[in-house]
């Protein structure tokens, strides 16, 4: 269910595939540093993707992004 929700959320906000991968890590409970390590990208690249995600979703922090994600996921659930 979670992966489908990530894809739906990403599509609704126009996230790129790279941004979606970072989003998936953040939603999974990992921070930016852990996301960078898991995705084998630099911390700067992960932070850039996160900044783009925040801009596209109208959020400013990871906690706000996670809240928006789960609110959208529960709202979309049947």
Residues comprising the chain, all counted: 78
User: What are φ and ψ of residue 44, in 5° steps?
Assistant: -60, -40
pLDDT attached to residue 1: 52
pLDDT attached to residue 21: 96
Q: Which of 4, 15, 6, 3 is nearest to 66 (CA)?
A: 6
Q: What is the CATH number of domain 2-76?
A: 1.10.10.10
State pLDDT tens for residues 16-71. Answer: 999 999 999 999 988 899 999 999 999 999 999 999 999 999 999 999 999 999 99
Q: What is the pTM of this model?
A: 0.89
Q: Burial-class residue 15 by CB neighbours within 10 Å (0-12, 13-18, 19+).
A: buried
């Amino acid at each position: 269910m979670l992966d489908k929700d990530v894809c739906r959320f990403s599509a609704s906000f126009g996230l790129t595939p790279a941004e979606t991968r970072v989003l998936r890590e953040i939603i999974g409970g990992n921070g930016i540093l852990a996301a960078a390590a898991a995705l084998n990208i630099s911390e700067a690249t992960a932070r850039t993707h996160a900044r783009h995600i925040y801009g596209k979703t109208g959020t400013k922090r990871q906690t706000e992004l996670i809240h928006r994600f789960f609110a959208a996921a529960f709202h979309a659930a049947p």
